[in-house]
Structure 1
């Protein structure tokens, strides 16, 4: 409700000519204790249809998405702040990067202990100008006490990139640099193709995990009022279910105890219910990619590798 109210207020002041184009250079930060509950892991398994029960360990590549989901409320809280420069309902999540920096310290059972881990989040104050508007980065990290007992060490980090639509001037050099980061499109040989499906109730299952109860994920009517074709799946949920399918067919490898990264680009929204096509491929000796399409149109592309 705060996000809706903030967005409506900004829209009204902009229409009335009362809004200022000056953006604050103040960096917005949030710090809090972090604790993972067994219910979180159960919700993740339920949302992606992961078999084996809670006795089967979560694969490291799944751990990346699970930690992203349970820390997403920090990003949502940043968006509610009055000094956050992003207009929540006028922006979309176009890209996410996840980094599992210390998998040896990312033990789910240890995260269940209260006051062991710290959640730190911030909004980068300087946006990037791109063709469709401004891109903002919201960085969220999990920190735990260092081995020597002095200070904290970052064990997991993710960067949400939000695009706020608008007319901006983009230099040719900047446009080229952004294009180079989408090398996942230049894939080499295809490894395997699988299919997966989303039901109309799937977004609610993911919302219960990540706490993103945006109406565009819960109601087809609300989504259409915002100009969308229907109820949308959460982007990270699409990635998580694709990973489950690829791991089950062994078309992607999950490295134990190896620091890893994943970068995801959201091309088009996925309207539920839907049947999606997932194709994995090798980009290099150390990098694996996959693409998710619907009716032949690209929805999500991703790369996964070792840091």
Structure 2
């Protein structure tokens, strides 16, 4: 990972209050934002897992409940810290309109529910994109000083892109290995366990305010649901990298497909009727930093 010796580390006594941060997130659409990336790094320790919350998360995402944390679970523990960082005044972009376009998680070994975690969150790698600018929100989980889990969420701010977009040609979707019927309440159910109560996920009326005809599923729910399908097929040390394509409009029927690759698995989620891609990903042995 990048060198963060110049970071200002702010240790938090508890999780930031998302009920206060969401109104603040909406207000970031007004007024001047920072020009570069903030140098703040938020830290929480120790963070303990609530077994009841873990069980509810597993149920919503399709995992079998147990002592081992699902690969995506620490993301929800770090999410309030990421929201705190992105609503700070020196974060360069307003949150309304910021698009979560990708997520890569590396696990160096499985995490257990009884292990106290040290969580850190920061932002890095502001860069041009053909449709605007991108940056990464990085979250890590350490146990006894050893970093064992790293999450890189890539966000896109549209506007002022560096080049023309691609042709938009769509490849034939792979043959499905499972069919999901995604209910219209999955956004509210995932919001309840993740804390991500972005209005675009909660109700058709609030989603329309942001340009969506219906509420949409969370990208991280879709990734978690894919990993539930891949249960038992990933090594202890693994990297799972996904790109979020078109949103899943709720309710929906989608096709999940997985296939073997030389170093693990490829997988994808497509609309069952149109073949439109929602998510594309790879899963395999852990990549070096």
1:200 aligns with 2:184: yes
Moved over 3 A (4+): 1-11, 189-192
* Deviation for aligned residue 1:214: 0.8
User: Which structure has the larger Rg over C-alpha atoms?
Assistant: 1
1:217 aligns with 2:201: yes
TM-score, reference length from structure 1: 0.77
Higher relative contact order (CA 8 A, sep 6+): 1
Tell me how far apart the structure 2 counterparts of residues 227 and 192 of structure 1 sit (CA, whole Å): 30
Alignment of structure 1 residues 260-279 onto 2, 5 Å? 260-279=238-257
* Deviation for aligned residue 1:68: 2.0
1:132 aligns with 2:145: no
1:61-81 CA-partner distances (Å, limit 9, x unpaired): x72112223322221221121
Per the alignment, residue 280 of structure 2 pairs with: 301
Query: Is the 8 Å Cα contact of residues 143 and 154 (structure 1) preserved in structure 2?
Result: yes
Per the alignment, residue 6 of structure 2 pairs with: none
Tell me how far apart the structure 2 counterparts of residues 191 and 271 of structure 1 sit (CA, whole Å): 21
Query: Is the 8 Å Cα contact of residues 28 and 84 (structure 1) preserved in structure 2?
Result: no
Tell me how far apart the structure 2 counterparts of residues 4 and 298 of structure 1 sit (CA, whole Å): 32
Tell me how far apart the structure 2 counterparts of residues 26 and 186 of structure 1 sit (CA, whole Å): 39
Specify the SS of the correspondent of 1:200: coil
* Deviation for aligned residue 1:302: 0.9
1:124-167 CA-partner distances (Å, limit 9, x unpaired): 1x41101111101000001121xxxxxx1101110111101111
Per the alignment, residue 158 of structure 1 pairs with: 151
Aligned CA distance change for structure 1 residues 57 and 36 (closer, same or farther; 3 Å) = closer
Per the alignment, residue 210 of structure 2 pairs with: 226
Task: Give 5+ residue unaligned stretches, structure 1.
Answer: 14-18, 111-115, 146-151, 177-184
Q: Higher helix share goes to which structure?
A: 1
Aligned CA distance change for structure 1 residues 57 and 2 (closer, same or farther; 3 Å) = closer
Per the alignment, residue 3 of structure 2 pairs with: none
Per the alignment, residue 101 of structure 2 pairs with: 94
Alignment of structure 1 residues 71-150 onto 2, 5 Å? 71-103=78-110, 106-110=111-115, 116-124=116-124, 126-145=125-144
1:242 aligns with 2:226: yes
Per the alignment, residue 113 of structure 1 pairs with: none
Out of 250, 269, 273, the position equivalent to 1:292 is: 269
Tell me how far apart the structure 2 counterparts of residues 166 and 199 of structure 1 sit (CA, whole Å): 33
Tell me how far apart the structure 2 counterparts of residues 79 and 127 of structure 1 sit (CA, whole Å): 14
Aligned CA distance change for structure 1 residues 246 and 70 (closer, same or farther; 3 Å) = same
Tell me how far apart the structure 2 counterparts of residues 211 and 101 of structure 1 sit (CA, whole Å): 26
Tell me how far apart the structure 1 counterparts of residues 24 and 147 of structure 2 sit (CA, whole Å): 34
Query: Is the 8 Å Cα contact of residues 29 and 95 (structure 2) preserved in structure 1?
Result: no
More off after superposition, 203-212 vs 290-299: 203-212
* Deviation for aligned residue 1:37: 0.8
Query: Is the 8 Å Cα contact of residues 28 and 94 (structure 2) preserved in structure 1?
Result: no
Out of 36, 39, 43, the position equivalent to 2:49 is: 36
* Deviation for aligned residue 1:201: 1.4
TM-score, reference length from structure 2: 0.81
Tell me how far apart the structure 2 counterparts of residues 192 and 198 of structure 1 sit (CA, whole Å): 15
* Deviation for aligned residue 1:259: 1.0
Aligned length: 261
